[in-house]
C-alpha cells in the first residue's frame, strides 16, 4: 500500500482530533449549560487544527502512534482556542469575527467568553493528566505550561501589545513572534515526540523545527493580513497595520519577509531529515509556506 498523501493524512488525523475534542469537552447538557455551550462553540467550530496535527505528525515521525499523542493534541487545541477567545476580547484585539463566525464574546457575552477561556485552559491540563501515558504526563505538563505562559505565548502577547505604534528592530519583532506564536508550535512538535517515544536528541530537533515553522507561520499570517480578504481568512484583515503592530513584513517589506519565512521553512525541513520518518513534516512545512502564494 502506498504512503498516504499529505491531504489524505491530514483528513484522517483531523477527524481523529475532532472526535477527541468532542469527547473530552463538557457534554452539551453539562452544567453550567451556557459555559458548556460556549466552550464547544469555541473549540468545535471551523478551523485547521494545525497545532494538534503537528503534534500527531511528530509522534509518527519518531516511530510512534498518532493515538498516543491525542491527549497532548487536544490539550494544545484547548490552550490555543482559549488564547484566541481572550485575544478577540475588546481589551485585546477587539475582533468580531473568528473562523468565519462571530467571536465568542459576540455570540455569547464578554464575561462568559473570559470564563470559557479560563475553563479551556484548565481543562487542557486535566486532559493530559487523565489520559496521557503516565510516564510522560509530567513532561507534557511542563512543556505546555512553559510554552503557554509568561515565557511563551502570554509573554509574547504582552510584548505584542506593548509594541503597538512603536518602531522595533528585527530581533525584537522576532522575539515577539517566537513568544506569541512559535512557542506553541515548538510545544506541539515536542509533545508529539514525547508521546511517540522520541529520545532526547529527537525531542530537541522537533522543538527547534517547531520554532522555525512557528515564526514562518506568523510571517505568512502577517503577509496575509495585508493582502487577503476577511472572507478568505475567516477573520478581519488589515487590523495589524491599523493598530501599528510590529511585524516582519512591515519591517522588511513583503518580499524580504517571504524570503525569511522560506529560509526558516527550509531550515525546519533540514532539521526534520534526521528523524525516522520526516516525509509528512517536510510536506506540511512546504504547504504552510505556500499559503501566501
Give 111's contacts (C-beta < 8 A, 6+ positions apart): none
Match 484522517 to its residue by C-alpha cell. 12
Minimal CA–CA distance to 85: which of 241, 218, 235? 235
Per the CB < 8 A criterion, the answer to whether 178 and 207 are in contact is no
Q: For residues 286 and 254, what is the distance between their CA atoms, to the nearest angstrom?
A: 18
Share of the chain above pLDDT 70, in %: 95
Q: For residues 4 and 93, what is the distance between their CA atoms, to the nearest angstrom?
A: 39
C-alpha cell at 14: 483531523
Q: What are phi and psi of 16, to 5 degrees?
A: -65, -45
Share of the chain above pLDDT 90, in %: 88
pLDDT computed for residue 208 by the predictor: 98
**293: pLDDT confidence band, cut at 50, 70 and 90?**
low
How far, CA to CA in Å, does 253 sit from each of 75, 248, 260? Answer: 36, 7, 11
pLDDT computed for residue 184 by the predictor: 98
The answer as to CATH 1.10.600.10 being correct for domain 6-292 is: yes
CA angle 25, 111, 150 (to 5 degrees): 75
CB atoms under 10 Å from CB of 200, counted, come to: 8
Match 479551556 to its residue by C-alpha cell. 120
pLDDT at 159 over 80: yes
Give pLDDT tens digits for 160-181: 999 999 999 999 999 999 999 9
Burial class of residue 46, CB neighbours in 10 A (0-12, 13-18, 19+)? exposed
- What is the pTM assigned to this prediction? 0.95
Give pLDDT tens digits for 221-265: 999 988 866 565 555 666 677 778 889 999 999 999 999 999 999
Q: For residues 183 and 236, what is the distance between their CA atoms, to the nearest angstrom?
A: 24
* Sequence spans of domains, the chain: 6-292
Minimal CA–CA distance to 18: which of 73, 58, 66, 60? 73
Q: For residues 54 and 10, what is the distance between their CA atoms, to the nearest angstrom?
A: 10
pLDDT computed for residue 237 by the predictor: 62
pLDDT computed for residue 226 by the predictor: 87
Per the CB < 8 A criterion, the answer to whether 151 and 180 are in contact is no
Burial class of residue 285, CB neighbours in 10 A (0-12, 13-18, 19+)? buried
Amino acid at each position: 500500500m502506498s504512503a498516504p498523501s499529505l491531504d489524505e493524512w491530514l483528513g484522517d488525523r483531523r477527524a481523529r482530533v475532532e472526535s477527541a475534542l468532542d469527547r473530552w469537552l463538557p457534554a452539551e447538557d453539562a452544567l453550567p449549560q451556557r459555559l458548556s455551550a460556549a466552550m464547544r462553540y469555541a473549540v468545535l467550530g471551523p478551523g485547521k487544527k494545525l497545532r494538534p496535527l503537528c503534534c500527531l505528525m511528530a509522534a509518527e515521525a519518531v516511530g510512534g502512534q498518532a493515538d498516543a499523542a491525542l491527549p497532548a493534541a487536544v490539550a494544545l487545541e484547548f490552550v490555543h482556542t482559549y488564547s484566541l477567545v481572550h485575544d478577540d476580547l475588546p481589551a485585546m484585539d477587539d475582533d468580531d469575527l473568528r473562523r468565519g463566525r462571530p467571536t465568542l464574546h459576540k455570540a455569547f457575552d464578554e464575561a462568559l467568553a473570559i470564563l470559557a477561556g479560563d475553563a479551556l485552559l484548565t481543562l487542557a491540563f486535566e486532559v493530559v493528566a487523565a489520559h496521557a501515558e503516565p510516564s510522560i504526563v509530567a513532561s507534557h505538563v511542563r512543556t505546555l505550561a512553559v510554552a503557554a505562559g509568561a515565557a511563551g505565548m502570554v509573554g509574547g502577547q504582552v510584548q505584542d501589545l506593548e509594541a503597538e505604534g512603536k518602531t522595533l528592530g528585527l530581533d525584537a519583532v522576532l522575539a515577539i513572534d517566537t513568544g506569541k506564536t512559535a512557542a506553541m508550535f515548538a510545544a506541539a512538535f515536542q509533545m508529539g515526540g514525547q508521546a511517540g517515544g522520541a529520545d532526547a536528541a529527537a525531542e530537541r530537533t522537533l522543538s527547534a523545527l517547531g520554532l522555525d515553522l512557528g515564526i514562518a507561520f506568523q510571517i505568512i499570517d502577517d503577509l496575509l493580513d495585508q493582502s487577503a480578504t476577511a472572507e478568505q481568512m475567516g477573520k478581519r484583515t488589515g487590523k495589524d497595520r491599523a493598530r501599528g503592530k510590529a511585524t516582519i513584513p512591515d519591517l522588511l517589506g513583503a518580499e524580504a519577509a517571504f524570503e525569511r519565512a522560506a529560509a526558516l521553512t527550509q531550515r525546519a525541513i533540514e532539521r526534520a531529515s534526521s528523524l525516522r520518518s520526516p516525509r509528512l513534516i517536510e510536506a506540511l512545512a512546504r504547504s504552510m509556506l505556500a499559503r501566501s502564494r
